[in-house]
Amino acid sequence: MSTHNAEDRFKQMLKHMKIAVLMGGVSSEREVSLRSGMAILNSLKDAGYDAVPIDAGPDVAQSLLAINPGVALVALHGGWGENGSIQGLLEVLSIPYTGSGVLASAMAMDKFMSKVVFMQRGINVSPFVVLDADTHDVPVQSQKPVTVPRLMPWPKPWPMPWIVKPCAEGSSIGINVVRSDEQFGKAVAEAMSFGGKVLVEKFITGKEIQVGVLGGKVLGSVEIRPSGEFYDYKSKYTSGCTQYVLPPSADAASMERVEDMSLKAYAALGCKGVARVDVILSGEGDVYVLEVNTLPGMTGLSLVPMIAQRAGYSFLALIEEILLDAINGPSGTDCGQAGMTNSGRLSGERSAQDHAIINQTGINQAGICKVTTTV
């Protein structure tokens, strides 16, 4: 069967599937996720697809079981929507889903762990220091007075300015550029309020380039020029706050290095489906990978749809490609062929026996299956 015929076949399959669009959630990026999810939902419904919205709260497992989708399109951002948790739930429920699997999602969300992987694969990262709330380097209680000498990684590893950010937040939430000891203490306290480790990075001056990747291939790139000091939350989601340069203003040789390094980062984490790789091209021509976003935004100001449009994809065509990637080819899950159970049927098509077993175990309000075992 030709590639074109196979794609048509899978598109026909999609037309007969119920598509669960997971959005919202409980993270600090809930608002952005709702905007992404509604844009996707409206586009699918306008094209005649059987798409159903799910606001992914504590009862998400119940909601999924109630509609029995053939595939889940994950439009969640941050928290357990992006750190591998929802992906793990979908694995357990045998529902094929879009995007990267459990391990890749978890590593990409943890900026420290992804940097470790990148360094092991020879991928450039900006110099960094990690502060941990569980050590004596940082106060455990963020409400206590913050004393800069206690927080400052003495001796200073590099001249300021520095970037201070939470290790596991997205959408530039909790990120600050610091140029003094006083700013550093305040920035660490803010980053620590999100819990977990805090990343302190050397500020690299250069062109900030975002690379879109779909199915292991580069879609294209965009250079971003925010009106502020860096690409913060306001710059990302407020119209007029950022200038977008497509294609980026870098020369062809530099862009080849940028896109090659981006693909290496995507592969190093084991990503699948659509992703966005954030890169700095320094004034000296060095390429630094900042992070990989496994669930990039899909709003009107989001970069991946912008990149895809220049590559010839309408918004709907991009969504269809993302869905096709979930049900066709190598698995986006961490455990075998996407969309198929060991019996070979689509995993969304559960048998009456499956539901009888699930109903016997029961589902609590937290969306956790309660299983009683007798010996």
CA distance 298 to 40: 7
25, 68, 231 from 192: Cα distances, Å: 21, 39, 20
Catalytic: 91? no
Catalytic: 225? no
Catalytic: 320? no
Nearest Cα neighbor of 126 from 180, 200, 187 is 200
Catalytic: 35? no
- Burial class from Cβ neighbours inside 10 Å (0-12, 13-18, 19+) for residue 282 reads middle
The pairing of strands 71-74 and 176-178 is: unpaired
CA distance 308 to 320: 12
Cβ atoms < 10 Å from Cβ of 57: 14
Catalytic: 256? no
* DSSP character at residue 362: -
Catalytic: 237? yes
Residue 89: half-sphere exposure toward Cβ, Cα within 13 Å? 23
CA distance 96 to 86: 12
Of the candidates 169, 201, 223, 278, the residue annotated as catalytic is: 278
Nearest Cα neighbor of 193 from 168, 171, 162 is 168
Of the candidates 28, 33, 262, 293, the residue annotated as catalytic is: 293
Catalytic: 97? no
H or E element, residue 326 = helix 315-327
Of the candidates 94, 171, 176, 262, the residue annotated as catalytic is: 171
CB 308 within 8 A of CB 318: yes
Of the candidates 169, 291, 320, 325, the residue annotated as catalytic is: 291
Of the candidates 24, 27, 28, 29, the residue annotated as catalytic is: 29
CB 200 within 8 A of CB 307: no
The pairing of strands 128-131 and 18-23 is: unpaired
DSSP structure string for 87-110:
HHHHHHTT--BSS--HHHHHHHHS
Radius of gyration of the chain (CA): 22
CA distance 363 to 119: 42
Catalytic: 201? no
Of the candidates 30, 35, 276, 350, the residue annotated as catalytic is: 276
**Active centre residues (catalytic):** 29, 171, 237, 276, 278, 291, 293, 297
